[in-house]
Structure 1
Amino acid sequence: MLGGTFDPVHLGHLRSAVELREVLGLDRVHMVPASIPPLRDAPQVAPQERLTLLELGIGDTPGLVADGRELERDGPSFTADTLAGLREEYGSQARLVMALGHDAFLRLADWHTPQRLFSLAHLVVIDRPDHDCPLSPALSELIAGREVDSPEALMQRPAGRLLRLALPTRLALSATAIRERLAAGRSIRYLLPEAVERRIMAKSLYQQI
């Protein structure tokens, strides 16, 4: 599972999903847009529209799934609830992985029921080479004894471990910067899939009207 606001989805999101699948040997990657992210500002675009952009961005990419389950729930989009649904679907022995970026990882201890995440899935932190912040005491305690150093070690159990992973391609793209470019009337060409760009422009999303 790779969650996020995807506001909008861009090539960094999609390339990370492809490489996660390859490096970890995953059958599929569920890309799950958050409806109401608990620890972030509200997205600029409505949840269903962000899901549509994600579906356009994925297109026919093998192994990537645009998963709208969080849009069907009321209230905040708690990741533990999403993982519980995936665990129920795939069974108790399936290897489930939740991937998150380094910024989100640093706030993990503040998430809703963070211990429950490890009972449901492994966590994979997508490392950033320019981001080396110390861990808080609460986060250090949360992950104590869970970290492994390889995908092979991660996959020996269905859940409960943590792997920090540097992906082969590190695209320095940000949805915030893309929104700022759109608001300023600047080009977003080659920052996101053409189908996503076409819909954004056709519907005047993120633009000053």
Structure 2
Amino acid sequence: MKSKDGVLGVMGGTFDPIHFGHLRLAEEARQALGLSRVRVVPAGHPRHRDQPCTSAEDRLAMVQLALGDLPQFELDDSEVRADLPSYTVPTLERLRSELGSQHALVLLLGVDAFLGLPSWYRWRELFELAHIAVATRPGYSLNEQHMGEALRSEFHHRACARPERLAKRPAGMVASFAMTPLAISATSIRAILAQGGSPRFLLPDAVLDYIQQHHLYGN
């Protein structure tokens, strides 16, 4: 399914496994920012964190199950199928090629990821390809004091206090949106499974069923 109209959100990640925290972030971004859809992009071989505990194919299958037939979300399997190192700039370049130079794109990030942008591959080019929307929650606000000089300069130049303005331009602005705090993480889910516990109600039933059927995470 391809988004052709409206503002498209883009959410990447390892999703090892995908859980309700991921889905809630995407849904709250969609509502707060006026996104028509959110494209979910599982990383094939991520370069900014430890390597996933499960294969790219398993993580892709779990995301597909989690999204089900939800019309507001789209699964993008390009990074997994490419079997190459996953970097955000080439992904956004591909989306630009697919959707055109004037389509508004919004990259969805958490605060920690945004603060770490200067360590990303070709990070300044992100602003040429998409807007960036940062999910904030209590204790994790978007504070310039926590930014390095280079990121602070970009943020000061691009900060947007009115999310509805994102639709007016294809890229280049930074906005934030509040996210309901959910104490759910893939790390804690993996730990629960490794100890023989049940993470039910932390992730979709279909994803948990897949984990159990394929004996993932020591289950």
Same fold by TM-score greater than 0.5: yes
Structure-to-structure mapping, 1:61-100, within 5 angstroms: 61-100=70-109
**TM-aligned CA distance change 1:74 to 1:205, over 3 Å:** closer
Q: Deviations over 1:69-112 (max 9, x none)?
A: 11122432010000111111111111101001111111101100
2:200 aligned partner, one-letter code: R
4+ residue segments displaced more than 6 Å: none
Structure-to-structure mapping, 1:1-209, within 5 angstroms: 1-132=10-141, 134-167=146-179, 169-207=180-218
Provide the rounded CA distance (Å) in 2 between the counterparts of 1:82 and 1:16. 20
Q: Deviations over 1:149-197 (max 9, x none)?
A: 1211222211000001113x33221000101111111110100000000
1:110 aligned partner, one-letter code: S
Provide the rounded CA distance (Å) in 2 between the counterparts of 1:152 and 1:162. 12
Secondary structure of the corresponding residue to residue 145 of structure 1: helix
Provide the rounded CA distance (Å) in 2 between the counterparts of 1:154 and 1:26. 9
Answer yes or no: is the 8 Å Cα contact 2:32–2:177 preserved in 1.
no
Structure 1 length-normalised TM: 0.94
Q: Structure 2: any 5+ residue segments left out of the alignment?
A: 1-9
CA positional deviation for 1:18: 1.7
1:48 aligned partner, one-letter code: E
2:205 aligned partner, one-letter code: E
Q: Structure 1: any 5+ residue segments left out of the alignment?
A: none
2:147 aligned partner, one-letter code: L
Say how many residue pairs are matched. Answer: 207
Deviates more, 1:65-74 or 1:83-92: 65-74
Residue identity (%): 46
CA positional deviation for 1:39: 1.3
Name whichever structure is richer in strand by fraction: 2
1:53 aligned partner, one-letter code: M
Q: CA RMSD in A?
A: 1.4
